Amino acid sequence: MSEGHDLEVDREKLKEVGIELDPSKRSGTFLQRDQEVKTFATFFEGLEVMSIRDAMKKYEWVKDYFWKVLNKEQDEFTREADSEDVNGYFIRALPNAKIEIPVEACLYLHRVKKQKVHNIIIAEEGSELNIITGCTSHPSAIGMHIGVSEFFVKKNAKLTFTMIHSWHNNIEVRPRSAAIVEDGATFISNYILMNPVKLVQAYPTAYVHRDAKAIFSSVIVALEGSTVDLGSRAILREKGAAAEIISRTISKGGRIFARGQIIGEAEEVKGHLECKGLILSEKGEITAIPELIAKKPNLELSHEAAIGKIAEEEIFYLMSRGMSRDEAVSAIVRGFMEIEIKGLPEALKRAIDKAIEDIRGAL
């Protein structure tokens, strides 16, 4: 296969996950292929974007953020990521900087058997940072992506992180991520997966402090041959902490484990977990595992979980309005996937909506 053909394939794959490589539409950009950083740039004052290796050369204190939220002995994949050849991105909003136009970051698996990544993301005190990250692979790639990400949302800061995955059915994906959400801060994490993949297994965790908030939203479609084991965890550590976990899962023949856990460790905290699943194939399987753990008496935790198929009466109603059966089913699926992703700036919302709509067209 020619290098020119590979480049065209690469560009198309980047578009699928919302990567523009256009300075007029992004405040910063980062692109890593396998273990090599191909490009990074910053277009906005108050923002820093660079490779993690460059960040460690520039700032001695960066090393103090490594394995601060995650334990490198957590499992075999975190241990493997703790290696000399690891690379990744460093994204930082300086104190009180308002970065509304999204930063884009792409991790692209092309030829290596294992892509090992360690990312550090920091929203300094009073700042606002929006990131859209696209992770994808070349159609001929066979291997594994191991991605470690540690988030630090400082006092009264706001960080919105949206991850769009578009892999292939020869790829295993093992993200490991955790966030510290300091007093009065907000952490919003969005995850979108609608393409074939061999395996995705992740359980991001947010440690939420006084009067802070964590919001996790996910939209997942598992096609035949795919296994998706995905959850979100929020640990509410201090008074006034809040969390919301919302997931929409669709099985078109794949296996889905939809997990969610909220732990209340302090009084006067609030958390809600909502998991809804839709099965569109006889071969599909969805397992919902919501967990609420209360360690104090005066708190409020709730959950809602439901799995089923499309109701025939909904299809008949839309058909009575002039739709064909396929059109009716498509409309119901689109409506099911529509969740309100809260707190997004318009630029980021448009980017996400476009990415979802592009993928929906292939369903």
pLDDT, tens digit, 9 for 90 and up, residues 29-73: 999 999 999 999 999 999 999 999 999 999 999 999 999 999 999
Q: What pLDDT, on the 0 to 100 scale, is given for residue 353? A: 65
Confidence check: pLDDT of 138 > 90: no
Residue 356 pLDDT > 90? no
The per-residue pLDDT for 52 is 96
> Do the domain assignments include residue 356?
no
Structural domain includes residue 221? yes
Q: Is the pLDDT confidence value at 243 over 80?
A: yes
Residue 324: predicted pLDDT: 87
The per-residue pLDDT for range 214-224, each reduced to its tens digit, is 999 998 989 89
Domain count, the chain: 1
Residue with more model confidence, 265 or 360: 265
Q: How confident is the model at residue 349 (pLDDT cuts 50, 70, 90)?
A: low
Which burial class, exposed, middle or buried, applies to 335 when counting CB atoms under 10 A from its CB (0-12, 13-18, 19+)?
exposed
Question: Do 95 and 127 meet the contact criterion of CB atoms below 8 Å apart?
Answer: yes
Residue 67 lies in a domain: yes
Structure-model confidence comparison of residues 291 and 332, the more confident one: 291
Handedness of CA 17, 21, 25, 27 (dihedral sign): positive
123 in any annotated domain: yes
Higher pLDDT, 268 or 85: 268
260 inside domain? yes
Give the model's pLDDT for residue 347: 58
pTM (two decimals):
0.90
Domain membership of residue 104 (yes or no) is yes
Q: What is the mean pLDDT of the chain?
A: 88
Least confident piece of the model among 160-164, 212-216, 266-270, 290-294: 160-164
Query: What mean pLDDT is predicted for residues 290-319?
Result: 91
Domain that holds residue 49: 3-309
Starting from the edge strand earliest in sequence, which strands make up the sheet with 213-223, in order?
36-42, 28-33, 98-109, 128-137, 158-166, 186-193, 213-223, 242-252, 270-279, 300-308
Task: Decide if pLDDT at 233 tops 70.
Answer: yes
Report d(CA 34, CA 109) in Å as an integer.
5
Please indicate, yes or no, if residue 352 is contained in any of the structural domains: no
Q: Each residue of 160-200: pLDDT tens digit?
A: 999 988 888 899 999 999 999 999 999 999 998 878 899 99
Confidence of residue 317 (pLDDT cuts 50, 70, 90): confident
Per-residue tokens: 130:
């929006």
Instruction: Please indicate, yes or no, if residue 346 is contained in any of the structural domains.
Output: no
Higher pLDDT among residues 206 and 134, named by residue: 206
User: Residue 127 pLDDT more than 60?
Assistant: yes
